[in-house]
A and B are shown apart, each in its own frame.
Chain A
């Protein structure tokens, strides 16, 4: 009862906040005048903010920016020992540095290292912190380009990447981070540049406590879809997430921008009805995941779990099972990937639910920007089948989904399943891959598939028993993240370019409109069935086999 009340309250807050934030984002991100400081910034960078780019130039700018980011992070990590504020940490070995650089640039933030023992304050703030902003903004930029493709007609121009990037960071993520950071600090999250403090505990023992810019990092970690922790324990660490209140706020923060962005989408296409429809699809998917997760975490047949009344292993007593389950579903349903409990210790089915949340393609509600464009692709597939079923060439928002458009939709949809299954199979087939499993048998397989699903989908959460910090996994995961993040973006922007050139059709009663109960059922069903069909064989040998044992 209390659990559902908590979930309902938190989700109600997200839905309530998504309206003003979404409206604000629509106004702030698209069109309107440039600010004075922004003009100075553009001038310094040599960008003409009023010159728009076609899809190729937009993509080129996006990829160039991301590549430069990876290079900069890589340099920062490998040279850490020679730079200030390293708090005594040495440079990372190159494979780990590569993985970490790719991980934070792709908004994945899978960490093959423990934060407190590897990265100093400079690496966290100048490296990870900057990329938390930037990588989240890149996702939103790609989504903005797609939306413009849907809205515009007879043009090749999709907007200016640099303007979109700048506005997302300085008009949206930064102000939100400051506000929510102050709230979290007020609720007890520490914020300092201190090093290790050795304290004497109540019981008389000695303990080393690490400080750091935690309060400023937390909102970023959660809101940007980044999810990487200052501490290895992530939000299970009391400094990152001291109480049930901060836990609730952190869940809200994870869901906030992706959800609000659906509203932004509705504003930009001029149809709030469409955004409510998409929100309903997202809500149903999220609700199903949460219900399944809660069921799996509370009802379990193991002797110990039955005795204590639930899957308590690996959860923090501060937040309990419901708080952990909701946090887990929110962290995997959004592409954030933070954790306030040990996902590896979730029940087999519970872990399977988190895995499934990612396998859906990070659309419920998904990452910043990426959640929306993933959702739009899923909706386009639903619209395609539904459009045929009503006897017309399929169209979405008055744009035809014909052969040229389907080409990119289909290519987009191919990438994630192929990469996840391909990398997982490769890792299982090779001894180097298998040796990283923390457990034998089906649970080990779950850990491994979870790892690659998380990497390809830019999630970043992990079943911690799995040791990704090997040369093999550092390299394969880097590849998985790069493919999973950027290859779909190529097809996405090509699709946006194609759509922008189209002349929109008209809406009549003969047109399938992407709204209403039937459409919601179609879109939800298509997203669920298509994702499940791809992954059910792998799931049956992992969580299903384990849970039924």
Chain B
């Protein structure tokens, strides 16, 4: 699992209200009331009908509020003014939800903008790889003028002027401005670690960088526009949901408008009934009609919809993931197949010693001692892991006299080891030569040195391979005796802890995990079994990966993957969700639709959950919003028409104490529920990975049934606790 999101350094004034605590993740915490207060001016600005028109439900509400304002001025009454005030509050609460969501992103954007200082770039004109200092000209230009394919040089202490790839040199770079990670990283020409980001600082050495961005389109620029939510594009599902809300708003508008002639007809029939505040001979009063409309249209979900979307993107940013579009976040919730690279994602990057197998009559200690001795100078992670294993399991910490001759690993011998001169102080006395390496190479060495290779070696090696590990044979030659095989070190890919559970979670969500590895099928299968992935692709080339994605997609699957190398770029581009590691190449980052700043390949699981949670929050609040209408009808209909048909009071099952109180209570509930649900909208509804069936059960009952029942209680409560004490209502 990823560590908690690193704290991004930012000037204190840009931190939104509240203390900038150690973890700035806006988790399930409470919404600081001060945050609402600070967002209020922005919320009021959003009352501008031009901007509000983007949200049809709230736009209709605002028109309604404007209408009742006019009516309240024309026929002043306490009831009229109270309704008017609460209708305006309904719009303000909705705007507040959006403003609070945006304010969080804006703080981050401000910090980023601060970093985008106009640096001076040292552009090289006429530079050729390997060319001498005289063959090109260096000129100083503003970083903003750099274009794609310009060549710049950056030296220690300078800021990288733009995004690009290192084409010469190697340097350590402080990327904390972008990733929040303070440890410097190495960037070098060629390979998969060549990408540098504008705004980061070179700490040592000198690199030549080819710029890969156009002016104003840097990673930083994209980050700013993403976290700020400026010109946020609505996502496909949001658009579709918006359609449903517009449809409902339209139908309710029709229902309310067509009610008027029927109301006049009814009042005409019951001409003796006295005029009330809700219904006169001219029909339902404007204020009540607008109240009914606003209560019926889905203001709850309509008011919170954009806040939910912004908060979803924000949750990703909190986890240091940058999505290039909201579409990708939604797609993450839809994926069926997840491709995971074995190395780095499922296993730690390196193999580790996990067992020692002796042959013939060799004791474990002897093998351990030999293995550790031969590895002391081996600075590879495998070598170190052998030393550590021997220390932990056998308590041996062998040391080597200074005159030992190290035999380094080479591709031709496929062995490494040590030659020890004779040492009288040691129990076994004389000089020894130790070797460890590939079984076939070690066997050859033993034969060369007069020994015989026991059949048990082959058995051990096969046993290790069958379990997916790598066997390193260890052999020794004492003094001038024949060489002999001591045993085998079992090197094994270590699966990261906790992954099995996460893959099980994914399976419950209906997502199939496929491990991709260059290993042979036997090794791949062993690791796949241990990690609990559903399938694996062994001996995979980047082309195989691309082909697998295409095959999955042809079968109707949506595929997600992570990648960092240039090789991965086509697959990242082909995948429905491609998460590029920030440490990766520019090509990979361009091709993917998300970048993980922490470069944590397991992060994709979080991304999937965020995508799902985003949709679930929308769906749950939509169901809630629609179900609310039933109670509102039970409050408002008898209040409207009880005057003409007193018998209709029978459906006033909440026994609200007067018609005006009933209508006002419903309107107040309708407004307050938006404010109450702001924290839920920002946080997202609780999500535990599970099957669609159990999610539907849970959300249908909580939000659907809850939405049906809650307003009955709440409206009654508002009526009893507040409204009935207002004189004249």
Contact = CB atoms under 8 A, between A and B. Distances in A.
A535 B330 CA distance: 35
A111 interface: no
Contacts of B692: 390, 392, 509-513
Contact of B255 (A393, A510, A535): A535
A549 interface: yes
A417 interface: yes
Counting chain B CB atoms within 10 Å of each CB, the highest count among A385, A392, A406, A440 belongs to A392
A392 B334 CA distance: 5
Interface string B683-719: 0000100011101110110011000000000000000
B259 A410 contact: no
Contact of B648 (A385, A398, A405, A540): A540
B255 A428 contact: no
Nearest to B330: A393
B555 interface: yes
A293 to B, nearest CB: 19
Interface in A383-422: 384-394, 398, 401-403, 405-407, 410-411, 413-414, 417-418, 421-422
Nearest to B695: A390
B509 A388 contact: no
B656 to A, nearest CB: 16
Contacts of A440: 269
A411 B246 CA distance: 10
A441 B650 CA distance: 19
Contacts of A387: 615, 619
A17 interface: no
A549 B558 CA distance: 59
Given A386-B696, A389-B699, A393-B334, A549 B241 contact: no
B interface majority secondary structure: helix
A504 to B, nearest CB: 5
Contacts, number: 220
Contacts of A534: 251-252, 255
Given A510-B509, A540-B641, A525 B255 contact: no
A434 B265 CA distance: 9
Nearest to A406: B240
Interface stretch (A4-12, A228-236, A252-260, A516-524): A516-524
A384 B242 CA distance: 12
Contacts of B254: 417-418, 421-422
A438 B68 CA distance: 38
Interface stretch (B115-123, B131-139, B194-202, B624-632): B624-632
B701 to A, nearest CB: 9
Contacts of B704: 522, 525
B348 interface: no
Contacts of A398: 556
A377 to B, nearest CB: 12
A541 interface: yes
B258 A424 contact: yes
Contact size class for A? 35 or more
B691 A389 contact: no
Contact size class for B? 35 or more
Contacts of A405: 240
A537 interface: yes
Contacts of B508: 509
B509 A509 contact: yes
Contacts of A403: 236-237, 239-240, 243
Interface in B3-53: none
A540 B637 contact: yes
A525 to B, nearest CB: 7
Interface string B634-657: 000100010011011011000000
B2 interface: no
B263 interface: yes
A441 B269 contact: yes
A544 interface: yes
Contact of B555 (A381, A506, A545): A506
Contact of A516 (B334, B507, B693): B693
B677 to A, nearest CB: 16
B293 to A, nearest CB: 11
A528 B558 CA distance: 34
A45 interface: no
A410 B240 CA distance: 10
A445 B267 CA distance: 12
A403 B237 CA distance: 7
Counting chain B CB atoms within 10 Å of each CB, the highest count among A393, A512, A549 belongs to A393
Contacts of B556: 398, 503-506
Interface string A364-389: 00000000000000000100111111
Given A390-B696, A391-B616, A414-B250, A541 B240 contact: no
A549 B648 CA distance: 8
A280 interface: no
A472 to B, nearest CB: 15
Contacts of B243: 403, 406-407, 410
Contact of A538 (B259, B512, B618): B259
A469 B193 CA distance: 83
Nearest to A414: B247
Nearest to B692: A390
B616 A389 contact: yes
B350 interface: no
Interface string B537-558: 0000000000000000001111
B243 to A, nearest CB: 5
B510 interface: yes
B262 A445 contact: yes
A425 interface: yes
Interface string B606-624: 0000011111101110110
B254 to A, nearest CB: 5
B218 interface: no
A535 B699 CA distance: 27
B613 A391 contact: yes
Contacts of B251: 413-414, 417-418, 534
B217 interface: no
Contacts of B336: 505-506, 508, 510
A503 B641 CA distance: 52
Interface string B481-518: 00000000000000000000000000111111000000
B657 to A, nearest CB: 20
Contact of B244 (A410, A425, A506): A410
A393 B246 contact: no
B261 interface: yes
Interface string B541-580: 0000000000000011110000000000000000000000
B648 A537 contact: no
Nearest to B238: A403
B510 A508 contact: yes
A505 B559 CA distance: 12
Counting chain A CB atoms within 10 Å of each CB, the highest count among B259, B263, B620 belongs to B259
A402 B264 CA distance: 42
A209 interface: no
Given A386-B619, A538-B258, A402 B645 contact: no
29 contacts: A385-B626, A387-B615, A388-B615, A388-B618, A388-B620, A389-B616, A389-B619, A390-B616, A390-B692, A391-B333, A391-B615, A393-B237, A414-B250, A414-B251, A424-B258, A509-B508, A509-B692, A511-B510, A512-B692, A513-B692, A530-B626, A533-B252, A533-B296, A533-B626, A534-B251, A534-B255, A537-B259, A537-B292, A544-B648
Given A389-B623, A510-B691, 11 more contacts: A388-B618, A391-B333, A392-B612, A393-B237, A394-B237, A398-B556, A401-B240, A402-B237, A403-B239, A530-B626, A540-B648
Q: Which 6 pairs between the two chains have the least Cβ-Cβ distance?
A: A510-B510, A388-B619, A391-B612, A508-B510, A425-B258, A389-B619
Interface of B: 236-237, 239-241, 243-244, 246-247, 250-252, 254-266, 269-270, 292, 296, 330, 333-334, 336, 507-512, 555-558, 611-616, 618-620, 622-623, 626-627, 629-630, 633, 637, 641, 644-645, 647-648, 650-651, 687, 691-693, 695-697, 699-700, 703-704
